[in-house]
Structures are given as structure tokens and as C-alpha cells.
Amino acid sequence: MKPYEINHMIIDDEFDGEEFVTANFTHQNKDYSITFQKADLEIMNTWVFEEGTSLPANLSDHMIELLREDVKKRI
């Protein structure tokens, strides 16, 4: 069983000359967002949404790899 659930995914094709993939997911009852470059799935940013605001998220390398593989399969 995955430690997270992807709720929504957006693929931005050719935004300002680059393509990005953003996945919104839930992990341990918190909502997160992670954005990768579409070409190589390099992380652009990660956010956690708490109390009506967004803060930079500190995700483990293991969690990032799980998300990267899941996103790769979906695109």
C-alpha cells in the first residue's frame, strides 16, 4: 500500500518554453503539491498546505522517488 494518494495531476505543456507536471497528494492527513520538470522529472518545488497557507515541504528522498515513479507511470 502506498503511503500517499495522488488526488489530482496537471501537465503544463510548453509553459514558458518548458513542460511541468504537478501532482497534488495526501500524506499522513496533510495535503501536498510537488512539481517536476516533465522531461527528466527533476523536482522544481514541493509544498504542504496547512491552516490556509502553503509552506515549503520537506519530503524524504524515499517519498520523492515513490512519487516520481508514480507520476512517470501516469504521464
Q: DSSP assignment of 4-32, as one string?
A: -EEEEEEEEEEETTEEEEEEEEEETTEEE
Q: What is the pLDDT of residues 26-65, one digit of tens each?
A: 999 999 999 999 999 999 999 999 999 999 999 999 999 9
Question: Is it the case that residue 2 has pLDDT exceeding 80?
Answer: yes
Question: Is it the case that residue 18 has pLDDT exceeding 70?
Answer: yes
**Domain chopping of the chain, boundaries:** 5-74
Q: What is the DSSP letter of 45?
A: E
What is the per-residue pLDDT for 13? Answer: 79
Question: Whole-prediction pTM value?
Answer: 0.90
What is the per-residue pLDDT for 1? Answer: 77
Per-residue pLDDT band for 15 (boundaries 50, 70, 90) equals low
Compute the distance between CA of residue 33 and CA of residue 57 in angstroms, rounded to an integer: 9
